[in-house]
Amino acid sequence: MRVERSHRTPATITFKSRSNHCQTGWEASCPFRFESCNDDPNETTITIRFDTQPDLHTQPPICSRFSHQVLGLIAGRDRSTISPYIRHWARKWGEAGEDLSILQITAEFLDATCPESYKRQDLTKICAVPDGKDFSIETPRTHTLLTRSAWSDKIHHSAVRIISWSTPTALSFEHTDGYLARATEPTLVELWSPRLKKCPPCYDMLSDRGFAKTARLYPNLNGQLTPHFLAGRPQFTAEEVCSDLEICKLRYTCEVDFSRVTLEDGLKDSTDCTFSPYLNSMIHWGHANINLMEPLQK
């Protein structure tokens, strides 16, 4: 998002989307109008111009890394008065993100959308590709327990950890909130178990080794297809290597999905403490970015 100000207009906000089409059908009861929507093969630019002096509640604060002082200057308000607006509208954008990324999944939908690449590997009964992601945060120093709980062995920094479930076509349909990174992936699956009842019975998960032995945590006992383990052997067999290679190639969609989540500016780099109250809202809207883009497989 880019915000521009001039003596002619109170403010202009420009949104850029990396999809090849302009999303339409959105309505908002805010005092601004869509001024232009210019498409090119690589990027869509939408410009919104305010008709009157802008108020902070017309601008999505979680889509930027602006400080409260800068947001106050844009909105024409004192920095000490804008926090309630930020809290209110960050929550609203987070709720919209949940509506777009927490979806019901049926066996009929999975069968109809199963990609050809999965069919070639005889993986026609795959429900989801779960994966975990650690988002770097500023190290909390208020208590040593928080400091230790936030440490991530993945990125060797303080972080929050989430798990996201997406279909083979990369449609995000479930994700956890952000938890301090010492929480393991099986622990988060167990915590989120009641919401995973939506996964149809007899459909498996295409998982990595971190999710091994988590089938018992799913209400419908969905199996976990993971790469082979050495289990005390000196090396893998040639058949295991070939099998794992082909299956692991299909998991690229979960990595691309997380790259789309980090299109949300607030989740790029390390998130400082002032953004902590809005972290889950940013995660929800980041997952909405996944579903507003083209499917990765057909």
pLDDT higher than 60, residue 229: yes
Identify the band that residue 236 occupies on the pLDDT scale cut at 50, 70 and 90. Answer: confident
The CA distance from 211 to 229, in Å, is: 13
| Higher pLDDT, residue 47 or 224 | 224
Q: How does pLDDT run across 83-117, given as a tens digit for each residue?
A: 787 788 888 889 999 999 999 999 999 999 999 99
Rounded to 10 degrees, the C-alpha dihedral 222/190/274/89 comes to 60
Res. 1 pLDDT band, cuts 50 70 90: very low
> Per the structure block, which two tokens stand in for 171?
């449609």
Which tens digits make up the pLDDT trace of 163-206? 999 999 999 999 999 999 999 999 999 999 999 999 999 999 99
Mean of the per-residue pLDDT values of the chain: 79
pLDDT tens sequence across 140-149: 888 899 999 9
Task: Tell me how far apart the alpha carbons of residues 186 and 197 are, in angstroms, rounded to a whole number.
Answer: 16
CATH of the domain spanning 103-291: 3.30.420
Lowest mean pLDDT among 61-65, 121-125, 222-226, 284-288: 61-65
pLDDT bracket for residue 261 (50, 70, 90): very high
| Amino acid 28: pLDDT | 33
Q: Token pair 């893998």 is at which residue?
A: 236
Could you tell me the pLDDT band of residue 62, with boundaries at 50, 70 and 90?
low
What is the maximal distance between C-alpha atoms in the chain? 72
| 142 phi and psi angles, rounded to 5 deg | -70, -25
Q: Indicate the DSSP class of residue 244.
A: H
Is the pLDDT at 161 greater than 60, yes or no? Answer: yes
Token output for 196: 């995973």
Please tell me the distance from the alpha carbon of residue 288 to that of residue 198, in angstroms, as a whole number.
19
pLDDT tens digits, residue range 180-191?
Answer: 999 999 999 999
Question: Which candidate, 169, 164, 170, places its Cα nearest to that of 196?
Answer: 164
For the chain, the domains span: 2-99, 103-291
Q: Quote the tokens at residue 277.
A: 């109250």
Q: What is the C-alpha separation between 161 and 155, in angstroms, rounded?
A: 11
- pLDDT(69) > 70: yes
Per-residue confidence (pLDDT) for residue 67, from 0 to 100: 67
